[in-house]
Chains A and B, each alone.
Chain A
């Protein structure tokens, strides 16, 4: 038998078996056989050979939580997170558009607290930039929008909606909040065509391949996003070179059944985030006395919804960050488990940053999976960063990977892109180097999060996520031996090759 592709001289790591092979033979997109030394020579001449030169070969990475379409679209928008004044906003936007620009100018990431004016700009400010193209700016958490005058006419938001800010003469200032903002987001995001989304997705994929990602759990649609993102992925996802598994962020079970999807949800927000102080806590935020975050569901509503998911045999994923939100969803699962007796659906909780010991034992008992983002700790964990400011000493208890794994709970790893960059090696490094030593995991455990556990979390572990015979040939060759790399340098290890279904889709310095 001739292999289509032979990878030789590698440190080919089979994650589940915790063992190494020297070579991998691939045919028809699958791993056909694995071996040691040069016993591949007993097979015929392969069509293509990659010499790994003693470097680590791993299963292709899973990003188990990524807002793929939003990340793709946002990469085409203008990021205003560096703006420090109205003048900066004008300068940043002008630098990104041509003189006769006519298409909508869409910007995001604006935080007026960083501006010297300490307020969002109104349409007059934006009119200085353009009166011949619509400008739409979203505030950093997407709850406020600003349009220029041309944009007000272009997007046709009814002026009778609550949330439209008006001046003394009752004329809209261009600032949209609450209901009006929701309506505007829906209108503006739906206005982007499927072709636009496809182009944006195709532009993003090389970046993901460069990071070794071959499978993505794509959390799309719903609140703050657009259902058209999910519809796009449903119809076009298979035409893209990565495995994109759609998590449709809706509570409409009839819609999911119509589409024939086996799962529902994703980032269905039970609460918010620590940064915006709306993750739901048991005690006050340390830097905001009296504030404990928000719950967006009542226990009764959540129980009813979760039970419907169980009754319809749908795998469910929801977003819960603070311990009060985790409590709510754990209770809802307990309610549904007791009613149906089902424990096989591999329901997931996304982020689950502050679980208590009670949550862990409940989650273990009900076979819940935690979908976590170790890079959160890299950016915001430890004594000097945002978590410590918001939570005080409670930063010591965030993302306790060690305890979760020791409880027998499966953790799958993701980036929540574009909240943090889609970069599994950064995630792996962050889990190993958790700022709190007690929460750190081993390299093997961190690799599991982004490979075998990623596959398990979407019922794919029998044919994907590992280096085993008959498995899909999704592989990554790193530029080094990750097992011999000092832990603080793992995040800087680069990917040499990314192979999807036996095809080399990325090769460092080869411009693929």
Chain B
């Protein structure tokens, strides 16, 4: 068997893969929970009675033992059916444990073997960070198993603390290297976990200042101000407001020439209501069109306008559009046309596109906005308002 052919992932969705074969679909929730308990113990032995109490505390002693026996048998059987070498579970009369010689990779075991210090390599920290960005056993809930829920609760607390520790260490490293882009990513992620933390806001504003992106800084600060008002009905503390104003308007702020010519911010909020093709892009167009002087589109390739017209009738108000004869529509052209549209309009305006529940967007729009988040256009800000 190849090293690490067996992969058990417990952060995010609970999955188990042997090579490319998904095994988690073959296991009951209770069997998965049993497996998670064996992983929580760092491969150490755990008593059968303890395992039973986690998952079958409401059952009488005999039924509880029977359930445990059956689930252990079931796990072994399913793994062995994949490969004879996959003898995952070992036990004696009173204890159960995972076979330590099994070459498996599990995110939780990886995390539990790491120590965070200034000597931890950047590569390890980033790997930890990537794992910890998801919740432990996200969406995996076992009914009527209070002890198990309690354990998950404690583990989640421990890993959330680890997430903060790792983030802080990374912040230190990136600050030292003045790697503002990476630093910004980590801080923005932290604000999604703790949206009211003023320290993060201050640091983010400082980074936008360093990057010369005063308009993005302003938009971020405005969003923070709105969040405080909307969630807590409190104003931004005057000291923070003063600092934000100073940073944003600082004369030595190395703002880009493009930014200095910018007019007002225009924005749209996309709320997916169905899976109709291009709906997200079409809705963005519809909302943005009335907010800027459409002479801006004069330089846009006429075929781009024509392709966008296919998905948004409001473009027909543009004189140039109405003359085009129809031609077959290909997704790649719509995507490129919308990208060119944004590039053109963002030369004069900051564009904010708010995506409410982006996971529910139609496929083309979703992929486009994901691309735009990964490869942002200057002065275009895509803000995901995921649940």
Contacts and interface: CB of A to CB of B under 8 A. Distances in A.
Interface of A: 102, 127, 131-133, 149-150, 152-154, 156, 158-162, 170-172, 178-179, 182-183, 185-187, 190-191, 194, 221-224, 227, 231, 235, 250-252, 254-255, 257-259, 269, 296-298, 301
A338 B195 CA distance: 37
A153 to B, nearest CB: 6
Interface of B: 135, 138, 141, 143-146, 149-150, 152-154, 156-157, 160-161, 164, 193-196, 222, 226, 229-235, 265, 267-269, 271, 273, 287, 291, 352, 356, 387
Nearest to B149: A149
A171 B154 contact: yes
A235 B146 CA distance: 41
B153 A127 contact: no
Given A223-B233, A250-B226, A251-B226, 15 more contacts: A131-B145, A131-B149, A156-B135, A156-B138, A160-B164, A160-B194, A182-B232, A186-B231, A223-B230, A231-B271, A251-B229, A251-B230, A252-B230, A258-B268, A258-B287
A182 B152 CA distance: 24
Given A132-B144, A150-B149, A160-B161, A179 B267 contact: no
Contact of B193 (A158, A252, A298): A158
A224 to B, nearest CB: 8
Nearest to A164: B157
Contacts of B222: 252, 254
Nearest to B140: A153
A223 B228 CA distance: 9
20 contacts: A131-B143, A131-B149, A132-B144, A149-B153, A153-B149, A153-B153, A158-B194, A160-B161, A170-B157, A171-B153, A171-B157, A172-B157, A182-B196, A185-B231, A194-B273, A223-B233, A231-B356, A251-B226, A252-B230, A254-B267
B150 A301 contact: no
Contact of A301 (B152, B226, B235): B235
A162 B83 CA distance: 49
A153 B230 contact: no
Contacts of A183: 195, 231
B23 to A, nearest CB: 24
Contacts of A186: 231
A152 B146 CA distance: 12
Given A132-B143, A149-B153, A297 B235 contact: yes
B153 A259 contact: no
A152 B153 contact: yes
Given A160-B193, A258-B267, A259-B269, A298 B156 contact: no
A258 B230 contact: no
Contacts of A296: 233-235
Given A158-B194, A159-B160, A160-B193, A223 B150 contact: no
Given A131-B145, A254-B265, A223 B229 contact: yes
B150 A187 contact: no
Contacts of A133: 143
Contacts of A153: 141, 149, 152-153, 156
A296 B291 CA distance: 32
B145 A252 contact: no
Contacts of A162: 196
B235 A298 contact: yes
Contact of A159 (B144, B150, B157, B231): B157
